[in-house]
């Protein structure tokens, strides 16, 4: 991604490798924007405080995170991970936790946090995006490159293929087999502007 982004660099716009969990700067940015990334790191109050510290007066914070840990696409995977042979394959630490469940706060918590950080104006809302997929089975494709990656990183390749196959069967048993399939996707959008 950095290689592709480099073509868009210009004065005042550059792209560097970094860790959003620890990044900050000293009151010299107009905007800090995070789209579908903050859910991967813990301690959102600490992270957002560091990001706020990077903003100059009038600076803006804009963040979007998924809020779907309770939806079947997530809960079915978590339940399957607790069964054999997967549970043993994860070792003594057990299945990897769902970062959305562990890290993402409630909208009102983000609103309180943005207020405490000194943002003069804010807008925090929970939005449900209505995605219409060709079939119910396409939900598996949707989460294959996101939510399921935590299992892929911990399971041997062949066992992960089995996991995905069993996940698909279990998920379709819960959400049904539809063509097309309505897939509601919850996200929290938060925005704040400093005085």
- Mean pLDDT calculated for residue range 127-153: 97
- Mean pLDDT calculated for residue range 91-96: 96
Give the rounded percent of residues in the chain with a pLDDT score beyond 70: 100
117 DSSP assignment: T
- Looking at domain 2-193, its CATH superfamily turns out to be Vaccinia Virus protein VP39 (3.40.50.150)
Q: Where are the chain's structural domains?
A: 2-193
- What pLDDT is stored for residue 1 in this prediction? 86
Q: Does residue 12 carry a pLDDT above 90?
A: no
| DSSP of 7-34 | GG-BTTB------TTT---SS-EEEEEE
- What pLDDT is stored for residue 168 in this prediction? 98
What is the SS3 assignment for 128-156? EEEEEECCCCHHHHHHHCCCCHHHHCCCC
Q: Does residue 185 carry a pLDDT above 90?
A: yes
Q: Does residue 94 carry a pLDDT above 90?
A: yes
Give the pLDDT band of residue 158 (cuts 50, 70, 90).
Answer: very high
C-alpha 106/C-alpha 43 separation (Å) is: 13
């Amino acid at each position: 991604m950095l290689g592709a982004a480099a073509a868009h660099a210009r004065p005042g716009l550059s792209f560097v490798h970094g860790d959003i969990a620890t990044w900050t700067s000293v009151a010299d940015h107009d905007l800090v924007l995070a789209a579908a990334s903050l859910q991967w790191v813990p301690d959102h109050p600490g992270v957002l405080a560091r990001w706020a510290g990077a903003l100059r007066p009038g600076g803006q914070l804009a963040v979007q995170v998924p809020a779907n840990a309770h939806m079947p696409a997530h809960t079915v995977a978590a339940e399957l991970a607790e069964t054999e042979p997967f549970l043993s394959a994860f070792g003594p630490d057990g299945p990897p936790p769902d970062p959305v469940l562990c890290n993402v706060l409630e909208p009102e918590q983000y609103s309180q946090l943005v207020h405490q950080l000194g943002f003069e104006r804010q807008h925090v809302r929970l939005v449900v995006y209505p995605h219409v997929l060709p079939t119910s089975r396409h939900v598996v494709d949707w989460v294959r490159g996101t939510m399921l990656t935590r299992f892929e990183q911990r399971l041997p390749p062949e066992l992960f293929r089995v996991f995905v196959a069993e996940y698909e069967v279990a998920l379709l048993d819960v959400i049904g087999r539809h063509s097309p399939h309505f897939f509601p996707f919850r996200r929290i959008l938060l925005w704040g502007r400093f005085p």
